[in-house]
Structure 1
């Protein structure tokens, strides 16, 4: 859930709990605090607090707003066996009271000062998002500090949040997209933390206790696995004090469960999860190069041409525009700490799923053999370099982008060198990397629905009509 949507939901929930007839005033206050402003000149400072906590800072004093993003390495890959969904559970608990402030009072105080705070989890990290108006900085920082250091995990809040999570799981089990994604990861990463359901199951979430939450917080919230970015109306000196106040009392070192490197199985596989729906959903993917691999940027460009470029992408043209088989089809590169994948999805009527997947395989094969055309490569580079600035047009976007770079091990200079690396991709690079990346015989495919004429198989059949589809260029 996004920061604002979660904040809005909290405002509505608090209003209902307090018997307020309309939540509009609370929502208006939260929206006012959520408005960001682009930094005029993005001077990225690397700072270290008096206590030794490192952060990146972009000062922007024209608007009295501070955006802070932080992450702890760990994420839901740290869920113990049998406790899948623990990381997700804790992200929903971090604003349910802290220190000596109980849940309702804590969230009322957040609303009173128009403070935004949310948490989220991924396979490798736990994320925190915090925004405050400058005039309320001290009060907001105190609430953030209590959340980071002393979440209460009161039993009544645990029980209430558990019921919400179980309701979400019951809903997700009826959503073909969510089921397809969950089952794809289980198929691609068997016997690995990446293959376990990130949000857990009804069985595992029901077993999570308050002690589990306390233990997870103790193991993962530490200074050595912390990364912080701040953008807004604050100086380096003042930020140093805030960093020590909020994070300085955390344990020096995290106690993380080791996670091994992995990759999807070679040779391809296909799984069908039957669901009585008129339209099937497929998730498909292969292993990809790591983020720091010299070929990653070329792979990023190739993916844009294949399925990441919206209506300009080959898959969209062939599956939707020429044949009208699907409303949307797409792919993206997803590097994790311990694996990297190229993954995509398509949804189409049950009778058309086999044809759609055949076209996708055919386009992958064609690009792997021939590479993209010079015109397609140039168009992709023009778009990717020209649109890059849009990732930095608000303070919150800047903070999120820079946090991602920190997590991937890049320095602030990446912002200045990234477009040059994309422009340096040659047709020969793109063809070589397409052959390395696009291996349709290795596709791991999960289909949810009742696709006609398809069966689960370790090696799916080659669909000849797709391979005969004529391509451009």
Structure 2
């Protein structure tokens, strides 16, 4: 395995080092990352990439569930939980806990997504025992005191108020609500002003108790620690959690069969358009061909068909994008563009035209080869820092791709044929019917007009 860039980091410099990106691996072929499976004496599994050149340990972990476990009438609980775990635990109140983090030069962070609850710990190797014990307190004995809850509530509400003035955030919320309706995916992860105001300490404590469990956990560790030492520390942090989670069953999302068009009026010079349709889940055998197809259509920042047609040829927008979004209970193909209000209809017609052309014709051989070259060549950039490696390993575990996926991934890309791309394009893009939300000045029926040749 290629090593960390050689350097000396003083014990007091972890925050600056992390902020400056110093905890860096040389960009390497994916196979150069050697992943070891570690099982603690108590049976907790972690994937480890050991590297002793820099005295830093990074641990990422996740619990399945996330915001999809929020009470139906009270979205935002998981998000609030993520703000509170470092705001007091055990016999340490919020101020004492934060001071202890600062004394140890430990960075601890948490966040909730629709399907998982994530955490990260970054510590200097010499302080790892104390740092892991502090994380144990946060995960096992959070306090949920009134003062930090009210402080975090105010911060979240301020963020929501800001989002209510942000056309991109408005488009995202409106699109999810239109596509998913009453399904948990239809509610914003951050919650609403009304739901956040109603969240109680008991709501947060209940979600913590039901989601944080050993059978619901994935862990990845990167840095200056060996398997022999890591095992007992895993038990220190996670061994006191309940054996089994008590998650609410989440149904498969039932998305609309027909096109959706919604306009949200807002007096802004540019219109923001979010569009999409059903895609593929991560375990679908055509996901990799669809991934390659999407890069050709709209995923390649400066090389995609949509970029060429929308920006290069017509100057309609600074950027346009598409990507696959595989959720646990839904596969999505989504995209977006921001363009002049008087040309929003034109932009969407071109997007529809290119989607339909890809669905019918697939890609050219040159497009396929160029996409493969880029996707394989850029993959090592996902592994050029300890934090990136740990995040990738957690995601690979959550998606059940196997510990050898890093070694297999580029071969999977290489194996995609032009027939595979055409088949995946037909499956994902299908009849071309889109779910569309526009935020900006109204454009009447222009959004519903049929596609035109680009």
TM-score over 0.5 (shorter chain) = yes
Distance 1:426 1:263, change over 3 A: farther
SS of residue matched to 1:311: coil
SS of residue matched to 2:293: helix
Rounded to whole Å, the distance in 2 between the matches of 1:345 and 1:147 is: 38
Preserved contact between residue 364 and residue 440 of structure 1 (Cα < 8 Å): no
Rounded to whole Å, the distance in 2 between the matches of 1:376 and 1:30 is: 43
Rounded to whole Å, the distance in 1 between the matches of 2:247 and 2:264 is: 34
Superposition deviation, residue 439 in structure 1: 3.3
Superposition deviation, residue 28 in structure 1: 6.0
Preserved contact between residue 33 and residue 116 of structure 1 (Cα < 8 Å): no
* 1:166-185 alignment runs, 5 A limit: 166-185=157-176
What is the aligned counterpart of 1:317 among 308, 312, 333?
308
Aligned to 1:94: 85
Aligned to 1:21: none
SS of residue matched to 1:200: coil
Preserved contact between residue 33 and residue 115 of structure 1 (Cα < 8 Å): no
Rounded to whole Å, the distance in 2 between the matches of 1:33 and 1:348 is: 36
Query: Could you report, residue by residue, the CA deviation over 1:160-194 in whole angstroms, capped at 9, with x for unpaired residues?
Result: 11011111110000000011011111111112001
Superposition deviation, residue 124 in structure 1: 0.5
What is the aligned counterpart of 2:238 among 234, 240, 247?
247
- What are structure 2's unaligned runs of at least 5 residues? 1-10
Superposition deviation, residue 438 in structure 1: 1.4
Aligned to 1:7: none
Rounded to whole Å, the distance in 1 between the matches of 2:346 and 2:430 is: 18
Query: Could you report, residue by residue, the CA deviation over 1:336-394 in whole angstroms, capped at 9, with x for unpaired residues?
Result: 11111010110111111111110000000111111111101100000001111111111
Superposition deviation, residue 82 in structure 1: 1.4
What is the aligned counterpart of 2:321 among 325, 330, 334?
330
Moved more, 176-185 or 41-50: 41-50
Aligned to 1:37: 24
Rounded to whole Å, the distance in 1 between the matches of 2:414 and 2:150 is: 53
Preserved contact between residue 90 and residue 143 of structure 2 (Cα < 8 Å): yes
Aligned to 2:149: 158
Preserved contact between residue 329 and residue 347 of structure 1 (Cα < 8 Å): yes
SS of residue matched to 2:280: coil
Q: Note the aligned Cα RMSD (angstroms).
A: 1.7
Preserved contact between residue 264 and residue 444 of structure 1 (Cα < 8 Å): no
Query: Could you report, residue by residue, the CA deviation over 1:414-467 in whole angstroms, capped at 9, with x for unpaired residues?
Result: 111111111111111111111111136421111111143347xxxx6333xx52
* 1:309-388 alignment runs, 5 A limit: 309-388=300-379
Superposition deviation, residue 30 in structure 1: 1.2
Aligned to 1:462: 449
Rounded to whole Å, the distance in 2 between the matches of 1:112 and 1:324 is: 52
What is the aligned counterpart of 1:141 among 129, 132, 139?
132
Rounded to whole Å, the distance in 1 between the matches of 2:228 and 2:252 is: 40
Rounded to whole Å, the distance in 2 between the matches of 1:468 and 1:316 is: 16
Preserved contact between residue 364 and residue 439 of structure 1 (Cα < 8 Å): no
Preserved contact between residue 61 and residue 120 of structure 2 (Cα < 8 Å): yes
Superposition deviation, residue 109 in structure 1: 1.5
Superposition deviation, residue 47 in structure 1: 1.5
What is the aligned counterpart of 1:417 among 377, 387, 408?
408
Preserved contact between residue 361 and residue 440 of structure 1 (Cα < 8 Å): no
Superposition deviation, residue 29 in structure 1: 5.1
Runs of 4+ in 1 over 6 A off after TM superposition: none
Rounded to whole Å, the distance in 2 between the matches of 1:387 and 1:134 is: 30
State whether structure 2 residue 296 is matched by structure 1 residue 305: yes
Aligned to 1:449: 440
Preserved contact between residue 58 and residue 222 of structure 2 (Cα < 8 Å): yes
* 1:200-215 alignment runs, 5 A limit: 200-215=191-206
- What are structure 1's unaligned runs of at least 5 residues? 1-25
**How many residues get paired?**
439
Aligned to 2:106: 115
Superposition deviation, residue 273 in structure 1: 1.1
Rounded to whole Å, the distance in 2 between the matches of 1:333 and 1:453 is: 29
Rounded to whole Å, the distance in 1 between the matches of 2:46 and 2:13 is: 31
SS of residue matched to 2:443: coil
Rounded to whole Å, the distance in 1 between the matches of 2:216 and 2:269 is: 46
* 1:217-232 alignment runs, 5 A limit: 217-232=208-223
Preserved contact between residue 14 and residue 123 of structure 2 (Cα < 8 Å): no
State whether structure 2 residue 179 is matched by structure 1 residue 188: yes
